[in-house]
Structure formats: C-alpha cells, structure tokens
Structure 1
Amino acid sequence: MAPSRLGDAVIERLTEAIIDGRLKPGDPLPSEGQIAATFGISKPIAREALRELAAMGVIQVQQGKVSRVRAIDSGPLARFYRFAVGSTKHGLREAVELRRMLEPHIAALAAERRTEADIAVMHDILKRMEATLGDVPAWIEADLAFHNQVAAMAHNRLVVLQLKGLEPVVRIMMVRFNAREARTMDDWRVTLARHALIAEAIEEGNPAAAEAAMRSHFAAADAAIREIFGPDPTPGRPG
C-alpha cells in the first residue's frame, strides 16, 4: 500500500475512535512509535497522519508533549469559509445564498424537535434583541445567538457546526446590513418582528410555518442586499 494510503488508514481509524467515543476530548493519543507499530507503518507516515489530524482540528499537537484529542468544533470550517469568501462582494453574496438554502429547513426541523428548555432560551434571546434595538454591535451578537439557537433546537450536531462555521462570514454581512445610514428604528422593529414570527412558529411546533417565516425573513433582506451589492450579477459572472 502506498504511504499516503497507509496514512489515510491511520487517520480513518483514529477519527472513527474519536467519533464513536472510544477516544474522548482530552484523552492522550499513542506516541508516533506506538501508532507506527500498531498499524505496521513507518514513524514518518505516523507523524504525517498526526499532522493532518492536527490541521483538521481533531487533535492538539505540542512539541515535547503528548498529543491529545480535541473536542470537535467549527474552527476549521470557519477558517475555510473565511478563506473561501473573504470580504468580496461575490463571496458574501454566495454566503447569503447558502444561508437561504439551509436555515428555512433548519427552522422546520427545530419546530419538530424543540424542547421547553430550548424555547426558554429562545425567548431570552428575543428579549436581548429587543433591548439592543439600534445598538449595532449588541444587536449583531443577539441576532447571531438567535440563529445559532434555532440551529441548536434542530438537535443535529452537524447543523450546529455548519452554522457556527459560517458565523464569521455572517457577522461581516450583519455589520454591513445594520450599519446602513437609511436604517430607522421602525426598520429595526420590523426585523425584530420577523424573528418573533420564526420563534412563534417553532414554539407552536409548526414546521411549515417555521420554514415559511425563515424564508420570509431572508426575502425581506433582498432590498438590503441590493443596496449593499447592487443588482444581481449576470449568471456565471462574479458580482
């Protein structure tokens, strides 16, 4: 078997052990020598496999110390999105489109799976949003918390990681949306009302209404997107 394939086999076995719980966050990993002996590979291949796992954010490697398992988080995905999107007009527009594909379905799932504790947290976030109307930095944090809470209410770990991974890009968009000079206090209240409709549908356990409310929320952002980016570009050409 080629060296790269041998390294891939090590990565696959170790990630399986992490995902199924045999290796937990904080647990030490075997040394390079132990991994090499266990898998019948050379130390350089074992070392490269560990480097790849570290690059993926799966393990923490410190020189002179034992490598340890890390809790799976959205950090690597967030770094990927920041690189892929940057702050270009075309990239940010694509990020908005991606959110529109994902979040209505996430809201529907949240309506099916929400718990009383979930609903209580969502109400607290709505109160934070109301208290921060017109305060751009505080509102953005509350707005992000609302959308992350809807994702959490879907009770799907990958959904949460996806939304958290997108958060740095979403934050850039929110700063641009909310910093518009034409935005009045009435505009802020209308935006809050859209979030309240999403929350109401989720609390009622109505997936169709939750999905429709989230779609409406994104549709209402069309004017803001055009104001920031201008008209939609010609298909196939960057905007």
Structure 2
Amino acid sequence: MTVASTPATSGILGSGERRAPAARLGVAVVHDLVAAIVTGAVKPGEPLPPEGDLVSSFGVSRTVVRESVKRLEEKGLVTVSQGRGTVVTAPSEWNLLDRVVISTMIENDETLGILDELAQVRGDLESSMAAEAARRRTENDVEHLTAALQVQREALGDLDAFQQLDRRFHDVVMKTSGSRLAESIAHTLVQRASEYARFHGDPGPEGFALTLVEHQRVLDAVAAGDADDAAEAMREHIARSWERRRLPR
C-alpha cells in the first residue's frame, strides 16, 4: 500500500534525507504517522505501509520504524497482528489524552471541531468540580478563591498575566473540589490546547472583563455552598468564554 503525498500526508512519505540522532528521528516519525492517522490519510481498518516502505520514505533505520510503530500501538492508534500487518484502529480506541495524539489532532483541526469538543468536555468536568467545591468549601478555601480572583482583577491590563491568573482561579476551584482524577484530566486537556493560538482565539475587547464577572458568579456560588448554581455558573462561563474566543471557521 502507498499513501498519496498531499499537504496533510507529506510527513508519512518523507524525503529520505533525514539526518539526526535516532531518538529525534523517532519523535519526528511518530508525529508524522500520528498526523497521517488522525487526518484520515490512513483510515481505520487500513494497514500502514510495509516496514520497508516506511524505512525508504522516512530515510531512517528499521529500528527507528519499529520503535515508532510501538509508540503508535501504545497510543492505541494501531494494532499489530500476524498476516494483517499494522492496522489503524477506530478513533474510539485512541488515547486522546496522549500529548502527541491530542496535540496533533488540534494542530490539524481546521474546523475547530476538536476544540469545540474540548470546551464541552471541560465544561462537564469543571462544572461537576465547582459543585463539589461548593459542598466541601471551608472558610479558608473561600479566602483563597477570593484572593485568586482579586489578583486576576488587578492584572486586567496585562494579557499574559491575566491568562495565567485565569488558570489559577480554575485551579483553586478544582483543588477545593478534591476531585483529583477530574482535575488531572481537565489540566491535561487545557495544557495541550493552550499550546495553540486557536485555543486562545480572539476574545474581543470586553472578553476579559466578562470573564471576571463570570468568575465572580462562580465564587459567590461556591462561597454560598450552592452546588447547583456553582455548576451552572462554571458551565456557562466555559461555554461563553470559548464562544468569545472562537475564531471563524
């Protein structure tokens, strides 16, 4: 099998002239193979090109190709079986929390569909944590959350500082919830997405001021111990924040 050379799949058919340490070459090969899979250049149920073809295409050794295929298998992107070779799995099998997988999906996501899904999942996770934070909060927790919002308010004119403190506010809510698994997943999603300019988008001149208003509503609900209102406030904030930042398709 061969894969057509297009802008989306050029990585899988390398120039054969790569010259770098094997470890770095392996990273590049994995990235290009992941890109070929997540963009549909090689579809679920289809085999990757034979090992010899990949060696020639990428200009690397068989060892590098084999190690790269192992990394794909660990990420749930392929299965290796006797007789069928290395076959791409269904998207439901992919480890979307894996750094390379989710980053490559975002990188190739021209319609912003993955970021739309991410906002939805993040809203579900963080709204449940906000509700739990409202149930568990102590006076000390409320003080920490109030302080986090105040520092963010003071940084309104500093874009980089404001965005950092925005995350800090969310972190305090999540830590107050005590939901370590949900917190870890939410952190991973945001960290991967934040590496791309399209995640930050263009919130508009009033975007940051609106964020402070929405954060205040979350804080008030958590302080009052109102789990339902805290969940609703957080869900609406994440949805509206993404709507403000989202670039046109």
1:212 aligns with 2:232: yes
Task: Give the equivalent residue in structure 1 for 2:25.
Answer: none
Match of 1:134, SS state, is: coil
Counterparts of 1:140 and 1:222, CA distance in 2: 14
Counterparts of 1:146 and 1:86, CA distance in 2: 27
Match of 2:178, SS state, is: coil
Per-residue deviation, 1:105? 1.4
Farther off after superposition, 136-145 or 110-119? 110-119
Task: Give the equivalent residue in structure 1 for 2:120.
Answer: 97
- 1:116-155 equivalences under 5 Å are 116-155=139-178
> Does the 8 A contact of 1:129 with 1:142 survive in 2?
yes
Cα distance 1:98–1:113, how it changes in 2: closer, same or farther (>3 A)? same
Q: Structure 2 residue aligned with 1:162, among 172, 175, 185?
A: 185
Task: Give the equivalent residue in structure 1 for 2:247.
Answer: 228
Task: Give the equivalent residue in structure 1 for 2:138.
Answer: 115
1:82 aligns with 2:93: no
Per-residue deviation, 1:86? 3.7
Per-residue deviation, 1:142? 0.6
Counterparts of 1:176 and 1:129, CA distance in 2: 22
Counterparts of 1:176 and 1:192, CA distance in 2: 22
Counterparts of 1:102 and 1:208, CA distance in 2: 14
Which structure dedicates a bigger proportion of its chain to helix? Answer: 1
Counterparts of 2:121 and 2:221, CA distance in 1: 22
Which structure 1 residue ranges, 4+ long, deviate > 4 Å from structure 2? Answer: 175-179
Task: Give the equivalent residue in structure 2 for 1:198.
Answer: 218
For normalisation by structure 2, the TM-score amounts to 0.53
> Does the 8 A contact of 1:78 with 1:164 survive in 2?
no
Match of 2:247, SS state, is: helix
Match of 2:194, SS state, is: helix
Cα distance 1:130–1:201, how it changes in 2: closer, same or farther (>3 A)? same
In the alignment, structure 2 segments of 5+ residues that lack a partner are 1-70, 76-95
Identity of aligned residues (%): 27
In the alignment, structure 1 segments of 5+ residues that lack a partner are 1-51, 57-75, 231-239
How many residue pairs align between the two structures? 155
RMSD: 3.0
CA deviations over 1:53-79 (Å, ceiling 9, x no partner): xx99xxxxxxxxxxxxxxxxxxx9462
